[in-house]
């Protein structure tokens, strides 16, 4: 089985990158036949701006841009999609949201021209979300951020495309005292990524 791990953080020394690496380690430790590919959006210079060409693609008046085709091919090769990101303003970073805006296109991730509503085209793709946040669980609960993020990301993005969200984890209080626990949790998520009981 093959996992695509998408990381959206500009600093390769960040806890976000550490969590992604430990998650990948868990995947490969769980079965020597499992493989991992990283999409480091910042290091690769992915352009998250939704341009007139992207709008034309959405309207099916334009061809798929080469960078979008390459990202879709990476996802098509994967048996699971993993997004690892810091929580910025109670959501994912703009870089990752722009990746989704541009890559999860009409006609590939969903089809809104079926005449019978939206056709969900990514039902074969299990999704695992791992966010890292600096606030504590009480802050998230008190302000309803857990529910808001699940509605926006899990339901609003992935359910719209039919991709089942198997893991939706927030690793909170991501300070120096929490690093070891978060890396251990990431490795455990990776070890169970292709566990049939989770999907």
Put residue 107 in one of left, alpha, beta given phi > 0 → left and psi -120 to 50 → alpha: left
Domains of the chain by range and CATH? 2-192 (3.40.50.360)
Average pLDDT over residues 114-129: 91
Chain centroid, CA 75 distance in Å: 11
Average pLDDT over residues 127-132: 98
The alpha-carbon radius of gyration of the chain (Å, integer) is 17
DSSP 117-168: SPEE--TT--EEEEEE-SS-HHHHHHHTHHHHHIIIIIIIIIIHHT--EEEE
Give the pLDDT score at 197: 43
Predicted TM-score of the model (pTM): 0.95
**pLDDT per position as a tens digit, 33-59:** 999 999 999 999 999 999 999 999 998
């Amino acid at each position: 089985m093959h996992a695509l791990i998408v990381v959206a953080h500009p600093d390769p020394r960040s806890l976000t990158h550490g969590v992604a690496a430990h998650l990948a380690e868990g995947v490969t430790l769980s079965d020597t036949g499992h493989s991992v590919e990283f999409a480091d959006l910042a290091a690769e210079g992915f352009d998250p701006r939704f341009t007139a060409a992207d709008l034309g693609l959405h309207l099916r008046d334009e061809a798929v841009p080469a960078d979008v085709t390459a990202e879709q091919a990476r996802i098509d090769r994967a048996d699971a999609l993993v997004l690892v990101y810091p929580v910025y303003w109670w959501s994912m970073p703009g870089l990752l949201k722009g990746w989704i805006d541009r890559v999860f296109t009409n006609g590939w991730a969903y089809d809104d021209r079926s005449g019978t509503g939206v056709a969900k085209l990514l039902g074969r793709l299990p999704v695992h979300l791992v966010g890292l946040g600096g606030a504590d669980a009480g802050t998230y609960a008190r302000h309803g951020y857990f529910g808001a993020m699940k509605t926006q990301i899990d339901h609003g993005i992935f359910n719209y495309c039919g991709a089942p969200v198997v893991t939706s984890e927030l690793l909170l209080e991501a300070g120096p005292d929490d690093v070891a626990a978060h890396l251990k949790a990431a490795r455990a998520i990776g070890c169970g990524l292709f566990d049939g009981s989770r999907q």
